[in-house]
Structure 1
């Protein structure tokens, strides 16, 4: 039998957006973004006449769910209920079962999996369509490999709904850890995963697949680009999957090279060109982190006191007036002064010798290790970092030495020009 479903995860309804100033005129736009993104997930379900919606954990941003978030969830699930579309939910580390006060009921078409593994048979027109298995987090921290509780019970197409860290993905707490081999061994056809906010697919044995749809709405600058859910079509036990963007506010990290830019007007025009190319018109808004890169004559101009801050303020005002509005999260300068390093090396002298010594040290692992271990100032720095709870690297990186030498030469070059 052919049928479709939508897989979404990590709604984080009513999330407090990081990087948005409290006094920003755009704050209300961002506060509505997670709700609008979820509404578009429901729109997709209705438009595609799916059999059910899967929500793989972290529907709410915090264990103490806000009233606004709970009411918004109820309204959207009501829309699916009226259309005869079922919803299956598991809770994750941000919204464990222990945080549910029971003050808001959900429609009868919604199945919330509890702290014990369960399986539900989905039927259509009196016939078995598929099976959905799931388990929720009872508390915030779940260190057990929950995937081991899942198992195939019948030949029907079977879905596993789970909030988990597959393969120890960095940047996410290692809750309900599991491996690709773990999931493949359970014999299910589709693993609907949540927890990791970056979209990913993993091929399993016998044509099965494990999928992270990513979150429907990016929440900060480290979640850039399109965000959405996955529309899955099942036919003859196989799946076809299509990612569908639903985000309403999009985050971007853009780089603007200073090469060939000789004026501030030219720089502003280059920024505008980058924003035009990256910021889609159909969204409600965008947030941009701009980084100036490479070498150019404007580096010296922007190194003057408060120059970068003044440029940032001007760009922020200009971009906020666009349609849709663009919020400048920050302007960062990673550019370099115009400097021909090869000429510096060939000229010799102090700066040429400095670069040569830095290159030689970086290319000699034993010498670098000796400096790292025996230099008193470096040893003291590592000790101070350790007391502050910062993990200092055990081994030095050659590129650190190269960058340090380059920075000193650049600084001396700028001082000579003043």
Structure 2
């Protein structure tokens, strides 16, 4: 019997967004965004008439979950309960079982897995649909591979619901570490994972799949782009998976080349146009980390004391007034001075010597290696290693070219000042 379910994780309800400071309605929209993402997940379940919803941990942002967050979760799961849709929940490191006060009841259709492995059977119209297995974190830190407790118990589609770090994903604490080979050996068809906030799918030995839907609402600039959940259709033991965005406020990292932009008013106009072109109109708001790049006449202007901050203030006020409003999270200057390298080389002097030496070293691997092995550089590398800093065994030619250009630019800046 074909059926559907929705897999979501890492809701982080009631994330405080303390770093968001902006005029107008933006702060409120950020504060509401995690709740609105949950509402959109439930809307999707109702619209697609799914059999059940899976929530793979970190439903709440902190162990001591707020009353507001708990009431919001109950309200949304009650909507599913009224439609005859079951919900299955495991808790992770942000919302372990030890943080549950037990003062809020959930609908009878909600299954919250405890600290020990359990399996629940999904029955629809008197017929067996599938099995869902799960286990929650008893406390914040779980270093054990919890996936070893899972196992296939019978025929039919089987789901493992787990908050875990598959393959040691960087940027996330290595809680409940597991491997693709280990998950594949358990014989389950679909692993509904949480913890890693970047969307990913891992095909497993034996034919199963492990899926991270990512978090449904980005919370900072490193969680940019679409955020959402996964709609899964099951038929004949196989799955079709479709990512569905549910975020209301979206984060972006943008680079704005300023080559050919000669005036400050043109910079502001170009920035506004570029940001608005990337920010979808159907969302509640956006947040942008903007970096100015390229060579141009504005480099010197932006380098003046206070100039970049004043441009940032102007852009922040203008972007907060567009629809939907945009938070300028930060403005960074990555521009370079206008530099005619050919003319600089023809002018001679130390800049010419610097550029020639850099080119010679970049084109001569033996000379570059000899320079790297000199006593001063060699001892510096040893000191860095003792401090735990990774040092490459051989230098890269592009480093030398970059150093030569940087030196030439510095000389050019000094001569022009």
TM-score after normalising by structure 2: 0.93
Matches within 5 A, 1:321-340: 321-340=321-340
What is the CA distance between 1:195 and its match in structure 2?
0.5
| SS at structure 1 position matched to 2:177 | coil
- For 1:280, the equivalent position in structure 2 comes to 280
Q: Give 2:98's aligned residue.
A: 98
Tell me if structure 2 keeps the 8 A contact 1:299–1:335: yes
Tell me the residue number matched to 2:407. 408
Conserved in 2, the CA contact under 8 Å of 1:18 and 1:220? no
Deviations 1:182-233 (A, max 9, x none): 1111111001010000101111234321110000000000000000000000
Using the TM superposition, give the Cα deviation of residue 113 of structure 1 relative to its aligned residue in structure 2, in angstroms.
0.6
What pairs with 1:31-70 in structure 2 (closer than 5 Å)? 31-70=31-70
Q: Does 1:368 align with 2:372?
A: yes
Matched residue, 1:169: 169
**Distance 1:345-1:192 versus aligned 2 partners, 3 A rule:** farther
SS in 2 for 1:274: helix
| Distance in 1 (alpha carbons) for counterparts of 2:81 and 2:369 | 65
Match of 2:295 in 1: 295
Equivalent residue, structure 2, for 1:236: 236
2:166 partner SS: coil
* Pairwise CA RMSD: 2.1
Rate the CA distance shift 1:236–1:342 in 2: closer, same or farther, 3 A: farther
Counterparts in 2 of 1:4-403, with a 5 A limit? 4-17=4-17, 19-21=19-21, 26-345=26-345, 348-359=348-359, 363=365, 364-370=368-374, 371-375=376-380, 382=384, 386=387, 391-395=388-392, 398=396, 400-403=399-402
Return the offset for 1:357.
3.5
In 2: Cα distance, 1:405 partner to 1:379 partner: 24
Determine helix, strand or coil for the equivalent of 1:41.
Answer: helix
Question: In 2, Cα distance between the equivalents of 1:339 and 1:279?
Answer: 34
SS in 2 for 1:330: strand
2: CA distance, partners of 1:50 / 1:314: 47
Measure how far apart 1:345 and its partner are: 4.6
1:369, 1:38 → 2: CA distance? 57
- The 1:413/1:182 distance shift into structure 2, 3 A limit, reads same
**Alpha carbons of structure 1 residues 82 and 394: separation in structure 2 relative to 1, 3 Å:** same
**Post-superposition CA distance 1:234-285 (Å, at most 9, x none):** 0111101111000000000011001111122222222122112210001110
* Distance across 2 between alignment mates of 1:274 and 1:410: 28
Q: TM-score, normalised by structure 1?
A: 0.93
Q: Distance in 1 between matches of 2:22 and 2:302?
A: 28
Higher mean alpha-carbon deviation, 177-186 vs 41-50, is at 177-186
Moved more, 295-304 or 78-87: 295-304
2:24·2:320 contact (CA, 8 Å) conserved in 1? Answer: no
Contact 1:18/1:219 (8 A) holds in 2: no
Given that 2:119 and 2:131 are in contact with CA atoms closer than 8 Å, whether structure 1 keeps it comes out as yes
SS in 2 for 1:205: coil
Give the whole-Å Cα distance in 1 for the aligned partners of 2:74 and 2:238. 32
How many Å apart are 1:328 and its aligned residue?
A: 0.4
Q: 1:115 & 1:44 partners in 2: Cα distance? A: 29
